[in-house]
Each structure stands twice: as structure tokens, then as C-alpha cells.
């Protein structure tokens, strides 16, 4: 419990530090907004459209496969930790698990979604 409490404390301290610096910066910085500040620098072209451009579709499929393998990794982690106790039996299990998921990867690959055109 206690070691995790340390993590928690770290978390809160981390957040606190960030918030504190923001707050501090607000205190000390001069505030003088004027229009020219928002204009393009030197000879730059004015931007066309929004900065929120549409991502390529492929990003999504990569992210998706990432998620699935992220979950797989999460399954691997406790397996690795407990492997000492579990032995060969667990190895077979995990091989089955990975093979099944590898088929997914293979499928995605064959479907050509992993190709970056």
C-alpha cells in the first residue's frame, strides 16, 4: 500500500508543480495584448482553413492495432511476473494467445492497411 501511496503523492506533487508554475507565470508576466501580436511573422502567408486538419484514415487503423496490442502487452506483463510460478502450462497458454492475435496482425497486413502510401 505504502509504496503506491508514494506514487500517489508523486502524482499530486507533479500536478501541483505544473499548476503552480502556471500560476506563478501569470503573476509575474506582463499582460499587454495588441493586435499585431496575432499577425503572421515577417513574410509568412496567411493560413488557409483551420489548423485542425483532418487526419489520414490510416492513423486510426494504426491506433486501433496499437490499442489491441497494448492490451496484449498488458496481458503479457502479469504473465511474465508470475511465470516463475506458472511454468510450462502458462507458456502454452500465452503462445496460443499470441498466435491468435498474430493472426490479426497478419490479417491487417494482408489487407494492406499497414502499408503507408
Partner 1 sequence: MTDQNWSILIPEIFLFIWALFIFGLDLGIKRKNPKILGYSAMAGLTITGILLAIFNGGILFKGMFQSDQLAIFFKVIFIGSAFMAVGSSFDIASEKIRHHRGEYYGLILFSTVGMMFLSSASELITLYIGMELTTIPLYVLAAFYKDDKLSVEAGLKYLIVGAFSSAILLYGLSLLYGLTGTTDIVTMKINLSLVFLSYGKIGPGLILAMIMVIAGIGFKLALVPFHMWAPDVYQGAPTPITAFLSVGSKAAGVVAFARIFVNGLIAFASDVMKPLDWGIIVAILAAAAMILGNITALRQRNIKRMLAYSSIAQIGYVMVGMVAASELGIASVGYYMFIYLFANMGAFTIATIFNDKTGSDGIISYSGLSKTSPIFAAYMSIFLLSLAGIPPLGGFAAKYLVFAAGIQAGYTWLVIVALLTSVVSLYYYANIIKTMYFSAEEPTIKIHPSFPANLVLLISVIGIILFGIFPGPILDWALESAKIFAF
Partner 2 sequence: MELAIFYISAIVAAGGALMMILQRNPVASVLYLILSLVALAVLFVQLSALFVGSLLIIVYAGAILVLFLFVIMLLNLRGEKFTSEKPILDKGTKITLVVLFFMELVILIKQMAFPQRMDSLMTQASPDFGGVEPVATLLYTKYLYPFELTSILLLVAIVGAVIMAKRDKNEEEGER
Partner 3 sequence: MVPMPHYLILSALLFAIGAAGVILSRNLLIMFMSIEVMLNAANLAIITFSRFLNVMDGHVFVFLVMAIAAAEAAVGLAMIITIFRNRGTIDADKFNLMKW
Interaction between residue 17 and partner 2 (CB under 8 A): no
Q: Say if CB 113 and CB 61 are below 8 A apart.
A: yes
Instruction: Kindly give the residue spans of alpha helices, DSSP state H, lying in the chain.
Output: 2-28, 57-86, 88-110
- Contacting residue, 15, 19, 68, 96, with partner 3 by CB under 8 A: 68
Smaller CB distance to partner 1: residue 10 or 109?
Answer: 109
Nearer to partner 3 (CB atom), residue 70 or residue 93: 70
User: Grid coordinates representing 5?
Assistant: 501511496
Measured CA to CA in angstroms, residue 2 lies from 14, 15, 72, 102 at distances of 18, 20, 29, 39
Using CB under 8 A, list all residues that contact partner 2: 1, 4, 8, 11, 50, 52-55, 57, 59-61, 63-68, 70-72, 74-75, 77-79, 81-82, 85-86, 90, 93, 96-97, 100-101, 103-105, 107-108, 111-113
Using CB under 8 A, list all residues that contact partner 1: 89, 103, 107, 110-111
Amino acid at each position: 500500500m505504502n509504496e503506491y501511496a508514494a506514487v500517489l503523492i508523486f502524482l499530486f506533487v507533479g500536478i501541483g508543480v505544473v499548476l503552480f508554475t502556471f500560476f506563478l507565470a501569470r503573476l509575474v508576466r506582463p499582460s499587454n495584448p495588441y493586435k499585431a501580436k496575432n499577425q503572421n511573422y515577417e513574410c509568412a502567408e496567411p493560413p488557409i482553413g483551420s489548423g485542425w486538419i483532418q487526419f489520414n484514415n490510416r492513423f486510426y487503423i494504426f491506433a486501433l492495432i496499437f490499442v489491441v496490442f497494448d492490451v496484449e502487452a498488458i496481458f503479457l506483463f502479469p504473465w511474465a511476473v508470475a511465470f516463475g510460478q506458472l511454468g510450462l502450462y502458462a507458456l502454452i497458454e500465452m503462445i496460443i494467445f499470441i498466435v491468435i492475435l498474430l493472426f490479426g496482425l497478419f490479417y491487417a497486413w494482408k489487407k494492406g492497411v499497414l502499408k503507408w502510401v
